Amino acid sequence: MDFRRLLVGPRHTALSAGVPVALASFAAAALSTTLILSRASGGGVYFPFDAALVGLAASAGYAARYRAAVVCLAVGAAASAGSYVGFHAIRGDETVVAVLARIAGRADVLGAGLVFGAVGGVVGFVVGYAARRWRTGA
């Protein structure tokens, strides 16, 4: 296995599979955050556990199937960004484009997503490796 494959996966999968997974994790995190906060009764502190779950699960599934580290990081960052957009969507104070532009400068939002993607990627690599070993009987 070469280094390029470990980073982005088999030929063309970063675009054909990675982009849809990243967009789906963005949408799922945005929707779940919006639903959670719409049911909450104001006040308190919100931590995006839903974004963490979406980022971990999506990147683990992607890593188990395609073994692509960079795509897993992008999936985690997309989930974190989606949660941030969902948080601001419930308040209705800005457009999605304005929120996305602000996210680009927020290291804490993207950093948290990168951590979610990295942890999910490691879990996915281990699960995928174990599944391949079990299938081959080695």
| pTM for this model (two decimals) | 0.86
25: its two tokens:
């994790």
Q: What is the DSSP letter of 105?
A: T
Number of structural domains found in the chain: 1
Residue 87 lies in a domain: yes
Other C-beta atoms closer than 10 Å to the C-beta of 42 total: 5
Residue 115 lies in a domain: yes
Residue 18 lies in a domain: yes
Closest by CA position to 69, among listed 125, 107, 131: 125
4: its two tokens:
């390029």
Residue 82 lies in a domain: yes
| pLDDT digits 0-9 by tens, 5-63 | 777 788 888 888 889 999 999 999 999 988 888 777 666 667 788 889 999 999 999 99
| pLDDT digits 0-9 by tens, 13-28 | 888 888 999 999 999 9
Contact 63, 121 (CB under 8 A): yes
